[in-house]
């Protein structure tokens, strides 16, 4: 995280904390790097002077700080201290070393499917704790997610709605950031945990594509797209696209819960990390996305593809994905299948040739079922011959 020297107008101490550097500034105030007498580092935010004079803001700020104290779990920046009665209210949270998700994507490009899913699973688990405390984040976005060595951390929860964090409205209005704002927030409807699910879906799309699923433009254009247009997810990994699309459903009732997200994303992260995903052609990917537009498909993602026709018939039904040995990894290992004199394998074999073990040329190992059949036939024939010889000797 970039740090800047303190300016002349910046305080040197706030409460019992000594300030060292500026971490940033936003619509609410300035964030400083500070430390207490024991050397514990904190991120301390001091409220803007004009907000400090707004009694309505002070009361709302107090409620949000109280709610933040109730949040348990390791995926948020823990609240350390706060002074709601100071001339300029402030609060301090645990300092989280590491870049924001936004900065990491800007510097290094889109994340791999396994990394995106792993970050999403941790964030979903963190949101479970946030929602159980009665808090809705309302402004979850890549810049509010810090990637610490111990995992992602959510910051600025439950505050942005009362701070005018975006350019859309003024203080006291329920707002978020264009491109990550849920449709119900745009309409002025009540926010729920499903609101954070929408923002998480947009955040995961950003991590996977390096861009917002609703493109770019003015605040008004972005809000219109969020409410009336479908997100563009063509750059999202195939393993994640259906789940991200479900998070971005216009109707909050059609979005998955944070607990469902956590479980599914953990499965996807484990599968992708082992290279067990199955790449699909663009036509098949587009068909699945079209299916997701139906309400009944919002919550589900087909984790396993339909068994290829060539396995059911024993013959070739068309081109199949290349094996990891040819592609450098990432494809689902092909399962052996029954072969015969003409086994339909690409390149073919001579009639009557017994399949051998897999080699560096990509040939498949012999089918165990076929080997068992041949062994049984061998023993039966041998037994018959032996019985015939024994009978001849007796005569």
Instruction: For residue range 261-280, list pLDDT tens digits in order.
Output: 999 999 999 999 888 654 54
Report the 10 Å Cβ neighbour count for 209. Answer: 20
Distance between CA atoms of 267 and 262, rounded to whole angstroms? 9
Instruction: Identify the domain containing residue 141 by its residue range.
Output: 97-161+176-276
Q: Identify which of 51-60, 285-294, 353-362 has the greatest average pLDDT.
A: 51-60
Q: CATH code at 24? A: 3.30.200.20
Mean pLDDT of all residues in 30-51: 91
Rounded to whole angstroms, the maximal C-alpha distance in the chain is 119
pLDDT at 355 (0 to 100):
44
pLDDT at 241 (0 to 100):
96
pLDDT over 70, % of the chain: 70
Label residue 2 by pLDDT band (50, 70, 90): low
pLDDT at 313 (0 to 100):
40
For residues 149 and 214, membership in a common domain is answered with yes
For residues 134 and 225, membership in a common domain is answered with yes
For residues 214 and 225, membership in a common domain is answered with yes
Per the domain annotation, does 200 fall within a domain? yes
Catalytic residue among 54, 83, 115, 139: 139
Residues in the chain: 395
195, 138 Cβ separation under 8 angstroms: yes
For residues 110 and 208, membership in a common domain is answered with yes
For residues 201 and 67, membership in a common domain is answered with no
* Catalytic status, residue 139: yes
pLDDT at 120 (0 to 100):
96
Query: For strand 90-94 and strand 145-148, is the pairing parallel, antiparallel, or unpaired?
Result: unpaired
* Strand, helix or coil for residue 147: strand
For residues 63 and 133, membership in a common domain is answered with no
pLDDT at 161 (0 to 100):
42
Q: How far, in Å, are 44, 139, 141, 195 from residue 214 at the CA level?
A: 33, 16, 14, 16
Instruction: For residue range 140-176, list pLDDT tens digits in order.
Output: 999 999 999 989 999 876 443 433 333 343 333 435 6
Per the domain annotation, does 344 fall within a domain? no
Mean pLDDT of all residues in 342-350: 42
pLDDT at 318 (0 to 100):
42
Label residue 49 by pLDDT band (50, 70, 90): confident
> Which residues are CB-neighbours of 247 under 8 A, at least 6 positions away?
197, 198, 200, 201, 202, 204, 255, 256, 261
Q: CATH code at 219? A: 1.10.510.10
| Average predicted confidence (pLDDT) for the chain | 76
Report the 10 Å Cβ neighbour count for 38. Answer: 5
Per the domain annotation, does 300 fall within a domain? no
How many domains does the chain divide into? 2
Higher pLDDT, 332 or 120: 120
176, 169 Cβ separation under 8 angstroms: no
pLDDT at 114 (0 to 100):
95
pLDDT at 350 (0 to 100):
42
Taking the model in full, what pTM does it have?
0.65
pLDDT at 321 (0 to 100):
41
Query: How many helices (DSSP H) and strands (DSSP E) are in the chain?
Result: 13, 8
Higher pLDDT, 7 or 308: 7
Residue 198 has pLDDT above 90, yes or no: yes
Q: Alpha helices, DSSP H only, in 217-358?
A: 219-228, 241-247, 258-273, 282-292, 309-313, 324-327
Last residue of a domain, one of 75, 95, 115: 95
Q: Say if residue 394 carries a ligand binding annotation.
A: no
Side-chain-side CA neighbours of residue 242 (13 Å) = 25
92, 82 Cβ separation under 8 angstroms: yes
Distance between CA atoms of 1 and 21, rounded to whole angstroms? 11
Least confident of 334-338, 380-384, 391-395: 334-338
Label residue 286 by pLDDT band (50, 70, 90): low
């Amino acid at each position: 995280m970039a740090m800047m020297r303190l300016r002349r107008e910046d305080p040197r101490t706030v409460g019992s904390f000594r300030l060292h550097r500026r971490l940033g500034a936003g619509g609410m105030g300035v964030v400083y790097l500070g430390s207490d007498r024991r050397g514990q580092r904190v991120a301390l935010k001091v409220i803007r002077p004009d907000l400090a004079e707004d009694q309505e803001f002070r009361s709302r700020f107090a409620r949000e700080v109280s709610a933040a104290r109730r949040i348990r779990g390791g995926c948020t920046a823990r609240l350390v201290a706060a002074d709601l009665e100071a001339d300029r209210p402030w609060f301090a949270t645990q300092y989280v070393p590491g870049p924001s998700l936004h900065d990491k994507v800007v510097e290094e490009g889109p994340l791999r499917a396994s990394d995106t899913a792993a970050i999403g699973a941790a964030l979903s688990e963190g949101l479970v704790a946030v929602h159980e405390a009665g808090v809705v984040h309302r402004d979850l976005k890549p810049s509010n997610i810090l990637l610490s060595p111990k995992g992602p951390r959510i910051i600025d929860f439950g505050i942005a709605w009362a701070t005018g964090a975006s350019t859309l409205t003024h203080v006291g209005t329920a707002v978020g950031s264009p491109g990550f704002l849920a449709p119900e927030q745009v309409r002025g409807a009540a926010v729920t945990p499903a609101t954070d699910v929408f923002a998480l879906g947009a955040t995961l799309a950003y991590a996977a594509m390096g861009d917002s699923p609703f493109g770019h433009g003015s605040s008004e254009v972005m809000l219109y797209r969020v409410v009336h247009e479908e997100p563009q997810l063509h750059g999202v990994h195939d393993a994640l696209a259906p789940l991200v699309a479900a998070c971005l459903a216009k109707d909050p009732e059609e979005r998955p819960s944070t607990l469902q997200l956590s479980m599914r994303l953990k499965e996807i992260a484990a599968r992708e990390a082992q290279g067990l995903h199955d790449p699909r052609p663009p036509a098949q990917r587009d068909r699945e996305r079209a299916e997701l537009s139906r309400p009944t498909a919002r919550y589900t993602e087909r984790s396993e593809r339909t068994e290829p026709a060539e396995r059911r018939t024993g013959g070739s039904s068309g081109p199949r994905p290349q094996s990891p040995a040819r592609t450098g990894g990432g494809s689902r290992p092909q399962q052996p299948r029954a072969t015969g004199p003409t086994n339909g394998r690409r390149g073919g074999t001579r009639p009557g040739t017994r399949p051998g073990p897999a080699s560096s040329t990509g040939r498949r190992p012999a089918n165990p079922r076929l080997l068992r059949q041949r062994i049984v036939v061998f023993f039966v024939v041998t037994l018959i011959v032996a019985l015939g010889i024994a009978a001849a000797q007796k005569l």
